Amino acid sequence: MGILLSGADIIDLAIQTEEKGEAFYREAAKKTGAKDACELFTYLADQEQRHKQVFAQLGNAIVVSDLEPAEWQEALDYINATVSQTFFSDGTPIRAIESGSSVREMIERAIAFEQQTLLFFYTLRELVQPANRRLVDSIVAEERTHVRRLAAMRSA
């Protein structure tokens, strides 16, 4: 019998990720002097907050796949590395915005964060039962639009 990653574990990790993103975007909106960038950062913060609420409502509705111990260990190693090193360490793109950061620098960091978030959610998607993947897919689709909007702002 394999080991199960609980739906609550996935929800907790997803909520933590969305909280970090929301905090970053709110700070970026306050620190930018550009109206268009402020509007985009505020929109993205609101989206992250909405994603957090969606994940919280899912609760135990996400049932994860039954994994073999070796697969479980690989998934657990990836999740631990992602959460601790990619999202929550000092060197991450989503860290506090330094004084004097340009809008372009904030956008670059936001794009890097969104890309890391996508990789994280793609991995989580593979852990859930096929019937529940649509729930993760909808968040992934929205995260991809974040990258596109940020990239468009960077190019402008």
Whether 43 shows a pLDDT value over 90: the answer reads: yes
Q: Do 55 and 14 touch, CB atoms closer than 8 A?
A: yes
Residue 91: the pLDDT is 57
Number of structural domains in the chain:
1
Q: Which residues of 83-93 are buried (b: 16+ CB within 10 A; e: fewer)?
A: beebbeeeebb
* Global confidence as pTM: 0.76
Quickly state the pLDDT bin for 42 (edges 50, 70, 90): very high
- In this prediction, residue 68 has a pLDDT band, given cuts at 50, 70 and 90, of confident
pLDDT at residue 12 tops 80: no
pLDDT for the residue 46: 95
Of 125, 139, 116, the C-alpha closest to 75 is 125
Tell me what pLDDT residue 150 has: 92
pLDDT of residue 3: 46
Report how far residue 132's alpha carbon sits from residue 148's, in angstroms, rounded to the nearest whole number.
26
Contact 57, 135 (CB under 8 A): no
Domain that holds residue 115: 3-155
| Interval 96-136: pLDDT, tens | 677 778 888 888 888 988 888 888 888 777 776 677 778 77
For residue 71, the domain's CATH number is 1.20.1260.10
